[in-house]
Chains A and B, each alone.
Chain A
Amino acid sequence: MTARVLVGVKRVIDYAVKIRVKPDNTGVVTDGVKHSMNPFCEIAVEEAVRLKEKKLVQEVVAVSCGPQQVQETIRTALAMGADRGIHVEVSGKDYDSLGPLQVSKILAALAKKEEASLIILGKQAIDDDCNQTGQMTAALLDWPQGTFASELVIEGDKVKVVREIDGGLETIKLNMPVVVTADLRLNTPRYATLPNIMKAKKKKIANMKPGDLGVDMTSRVEVLRVDEPPQRQAGVKVESVEDLVSKLKEAGRI
């Protein structure tokens, strides 16, 4: 039986919120805005918890990187059934420039420290849409990766992953230890119930800093500017085909 699953959970602006760009164009407004667990991370947690319920893994550890508030996100994972949490404290400028490279270095270090044999992550975060952390983590650990998983089956010391790809579905078999990233159809995550939220309060969340793991937080990416997408312009009605053709020519389209 596989000992330990590491699940990464990211705190992001809730999917239902209308995003607004800050007036100084340095980013989006986050103050006072509802945040919640990245939907793909919810799916990852759900998959890990199901594996534990099927007794295929012994322990599920939820990890999040960020300031104090990410503890709420870890608590949600605990309420869904994770056993314990790890909060890697990142704040201020480091948090502003936190991206897949630093997170994957942290996850790789933790995977070694915790002797995890399976890492499940969401395929991407809904705020940056990077879709890189899983792949980078696997590369740093030199582990195989099963990304965009819509099905995950543990078979002894191997893992069978069905991947959603452009042409359809691809089934691959990977030797553990392995990194898997969750796609939308992997499962439907459970809602945390009150009794489970109460129980989660008693579960442990360990605190540490990137330095404790020997991770360098320097970012190689600098955000220059954030802009809203261009406003949609009103359409124009035309009376005849000739009119349409001449308008298209005017606009340089034909």
Chain B
Amino acid sequence: SKLQPRTLSALRAVAGDEGVCVGAALREQHGRDESVHRCRPPDVVVFPRCVEEVSALAKICHHHRLPIIPFGTGTGLEGGVGALKGGVCFSLRKMDQVLDLHQEDFDVTVEPGVTRKGLNSYLRDTGLWFPVDPGADASLCGMAATSASGTNAVRYGTMRENVLNLEVVLADGTVFCTAGRGRRPRKTSAGYNLTNLFVGSEGTLGLLTKATLRLYGLPESTVSAVCSFPSVQAAVDSTVQVLQAGVPIARIEFLDDVMIDACNRFNSLSYPIMPTLFLEFHGSSRSLEEQVTITEEITRENSGSDFSWAEDEETRAQLWKARHDAWYAALALRPGCKAYSTDVCVPLSRLPQIIVETKQDLITNNLTGPIAGHVGDGNFHCIMVLNPEDPEEVKRVHEFTERLARRALAMDGTCTGEHGVGLGKRALLREELGPLAMEVMQGLKATLDPKNLMNPGKVL
């Protein structure tokens, strides 16, 4: 380890002997996430047990100019936890309590070790849930840090809309709450929106040690449906019309023909190999009937076919299996390869054009990239399946993702709808925001973290 013995002693004096680890295996575990970025292990991993320890450890790092890397569950997709300059990884998993649940107010405060599924299990007899669902069983504070989204953002919003307050520890150990300690009004116009400054900051401004989240009532009933379309345009047109008709659709997911084909093979299904929409409706039995009828009509008007739907859990799970296993189905297309997911998001009206152009790009450049997307948000992912040991393919994929990002930017969109900037999209962020907005961001960073210790080399 590059750390001085007395620095390690100082860390141990705060977190205890078991709370400071220099073993290679543990450091490697904390130097990687689920992206294709290679492992960049920190010099040491610390496991604080409370915010006072986080603050004391941060003060030590601040004094010795050591980088601070917050770590939740390591399920990020953009290399956000890589310790590029070494330093101290703060694994927050020991802080795992659900604090302060207020059922009538629909809010709850959680520590960073609480995961999405853990919270929903905790809430299971209250009739409430936290609906933001990025797929992985991620830490809720990690989801706040990356401004995560998911398949039902179209109805319930992303982390930006659902974090009411954050407890933050800055690089110098200062602890404060973005909306004031303990405050949880459903809305506020008090001062600058610090909460949303830290949501999406990817560990570059401070450590998140508590998040107050907005909860929702569990849907009374759920109906899932699937429908095939002759073209991407028809599928997206249907999506727009469903939203315009005021149907409060909970999930509306798009899979292209390549993705459907992969899913068919992986799960021995027999969906028609065409652009397909997977839909989910939440509500009372009566309202569901109405929602499904309106939606079926719209899909028919857009030449949709094979509309099938189900209400009981087992059949719904079967219907959605294709969408759930999409990642693995894509990987199965080329066993032994890895997968990288692109993440652009554009205004809905531009979605057909960008998907058509992207599919053409994939074919022209001989790339494997089945598409799955949160079409209700204009966000889609190309699951690039590639051999990471083949430098030529890696280069081709990289160039493709740059072209895709620029295509999205040219259509008034963003290079990252939900995964974050992390390590690989900093140049694209500059293009997306322009120099003046970047300067404002740099200014904020310099104010909150003048020594640039918070997750250096990410985002900016």
Name the contact of A193 in the complex, choosing from B122, B127, B313 (C-beta under 8 A): B127
Known contacts A79-B127, A188-B313; is-contact A193 B121 (Cβ 8 Å): no
Does A22 reach chain B (CB closer than 8 Å)? no
Name the contact of B127 in the complex, choosing from A14, A34, A188, A197 (C-beta under 8 A): A197
Does A214 reach chain B (CB closer than 8 Å)? no
Chain B residues with Cβ under 8 A from A117's Cβ?
Answer: none
Name the contact of B125 in the complex, choosing from A16, A192, A195 (C-beta under 8 A): A192
For residue B128, which residue of chain A has the nearest CB? A194
Q: Are A193 and B220 in contact (CB under 8 A)?
A: yes
Does B388 reach chain A (CB closer than 8 Å)? no
Chain B residues with Cβ under 8 A from A192's Cβ?
Answer: 124-127, 218
Does A7 reach chain B (CB closer than 8 Å)? no
Q: Are A196 and B122 in contact (CB under 8 A)?
A: no
| A67-B217 Cα distance, complex, nearest whole Å | 29
Q: Give residues of chain B (336-362) contacting chain A, Cβ–Cβ below 8 Å.
A: none
Chain B's nearest CB lies how many Å from the CB of A184? Answer: 16
Q: Are B218 and A193 in contact (CB under 8 A)?
A: yes
| A94-B2 Cα distance, complex, nearest whole Å | 60
Chain A residues with Cβ under 8 A from B129's Cβ?
Answer: 191
Q: Give residues of chain A (157-215) contacting chain B, Cβ–Cβ below 8 Å.
A: 188, 191-197
Q: Are B124 and A193 in contact (CB under 8 A)?
A: no
Q: Which residue among A76, A193, A196 has the maximum number of chain B CB atoms within 10 Å of its CB? A: A193
| A29-B156 Cα distance, complex, nearest whole Å | 38
Does A37 reach chain B (CB closer than 8 Å)? yes
Name the contact of A16 in the complex, choosing from B118, B218, B219 (C-beta under 8 A): B118
| A193-B125 Cα distance, complex, nearest whole Å | 8
Q: Are A36 and B127 in contact (CB under 8 A)?
A: no
A-side interface residues, number (CB < 8 Å): 15
Q: Are B125 and A34 in contact (CB under 8 A)?
A: no
Known contacts A188-B313, A193-B219; is-contact A34 B122 (Cβ 8 Å): yes
Chain B residues with Cβ under 8 A from A36's Cβ?
Answer: 124-125
B-side interface residues, number (CB < 8 Å): 15
Chain A residues with Cβ under 8 A from B127's Cβ?
Answer: 79, 191-197
Chain A residues with Cβ under 8 A from B128's Cβ?
Answer: 194
0/1 string, A67-79, CB within 8 A of B gives 1: 0000000001001
Q: Are B118 and A191 in contact (CB under 8 A)?
A: no
| A188-B118 Cα distance, complex, nearest whole Å | 17
Chain B's nearest CB lies how many Å from the CB of A237? Answer: 12
For residue B125, which residue of chain A has the nearest CB? A76
0/1 string, B59-89, CB within 8 A of A gives 1: 0000000000000000000000000000000
Chain B residues with Cβ under 8 A from A79's Cβ?
Answer: 125, 127
Q: Which residue among A36, A188, A194, A196 has the maximum number of chain B CB atoms within 10 Å of its CB? A: A194
| A192-B118 Cα distance, complex, nearest whole Å | 17
Chain B's nearest CB lies how many Å from the CB of A14? Answer: 8
For residue A14, which residue of chain B has the nearest CB? B122
| A45-B141 Cα distance, complex, nearest whole Å | 34
| A223-B18 Cα distance, complex, nearest whole Å | 33
| A16-B129 Cα distance, complex, nearest whole Å | 17
Q: Are B217 and A194 in contact (CB under 8 A)?
A: yes
| A195-B122 Cα distance, complex, nearest whole Å | 19
Q: Give residues of chain B (117-171) contacting chain A, Cβ–Cβ below 8 Å.
A: 118, 121-122, 124-129
Chain B's nearest CB lies how many Å from the CB of A85? Answer: 14
0/1 string, B360-371, CB within 8 A of A gives 1: 000000000000
Chain A residues with Cβ under 8 A from B217's Cβ?
Answer: 193-195
| A192-B220 Cα distance, complex, nearest whole Å | 9
| A23-B125 Cα distance, complex, nearest whole Å | 31
Chain A residues with Cβ under 8 A from B126's Cβ?
Answer: 192, 197
| A76-B118 Cα distance, complex, nearest whole Å | 19
| A197-B103 Cα distance, complex, nearest whole Å | 12
| A208-B450 Cα distance, complex, nearest whole Å | 67
Chain B residues with Cβ under 8 A from A193's Cβ?
Answer: 127, 217-220
| A194-B128 Cα distance, complex, nearest whole Å | 7
Q: Are A16 and B121 in contact (CB under 8 A)?
A: yes
| A188-B317 Cα distance, complex, nearest whole Å | 12
| A214-B65 Cα distance, complex, nearest whole Å | 73
Chain B residues with Cβ under 8 A from A76's Cβ?
Answer: 125
| A196-B122 Cα distance, complex, nearest whole Å | 18
Chain A residues with Cβ under 8 A from B122's Cβ?
Answer: 14, 16, 34
| A253-B42 Cα distance, complex, nearest whole Å | 40
Q: Are B124 and A191 in contact (CB under 8 A)?
A: yes
For residue A196, which residue of chain B has the nearest CB? B127
| A196-B217 Cα distance, complex, nearest whole Å | 11
Chain A's nearest CB lies how many Å from the CB of B184? Answer: 19
| A196-B219 Cα distance, complex, nearest whole Å | 11
0/1 string, B212-228, CB within 8 A of A gives 1: 00000111100000000
| A191-B219 Cα distance, complex, nearest whole Å | 10
Q: Are A194 and B118 in contact (CB under 8 A)?
A: no
Chain B residues with Cβ under 8 A from A14's Cβ?
Answer: 122
Known contacts A16-B118, A188-B313; is-contact A37 B218 (Cβ 8 Å): no
Chain A's nearest CB lies how many Å from the CB of B318? Answer: 14
For residue B123, which residue of chain A has the nearest CB? A191
Q: Are B220 and A195 in contact (CB under 8 A)?
A: yes
Report the 7 A-B pairs with minimum CB-CB distance, sorted nearest first.
A194-B127, A194-B217, A197-B127, A76-B125, A193-B218, A193-B220, A191-B124
Interface residues of A (CB under 8 A from B): 14, 16, 34, 36-37, 76, 79, 188, 191-197
Additional 8 contacts, C-beta under 8 A, given A194-B128, A194-B217, A195-B284: A34-B122, A37-B125, A79-B127, A191-B129, A192-B126, A192-B218, A193-B219, A194-B218
12 pairs from A and B in contact (CB 8 Å cutoff) = A16-B121, A36-B125, A79-B125, A188-B313, A191-B218, A192-B126, A193-B127, A193-B219, A194-B217, A195-B127, A195-B220, A196-B220
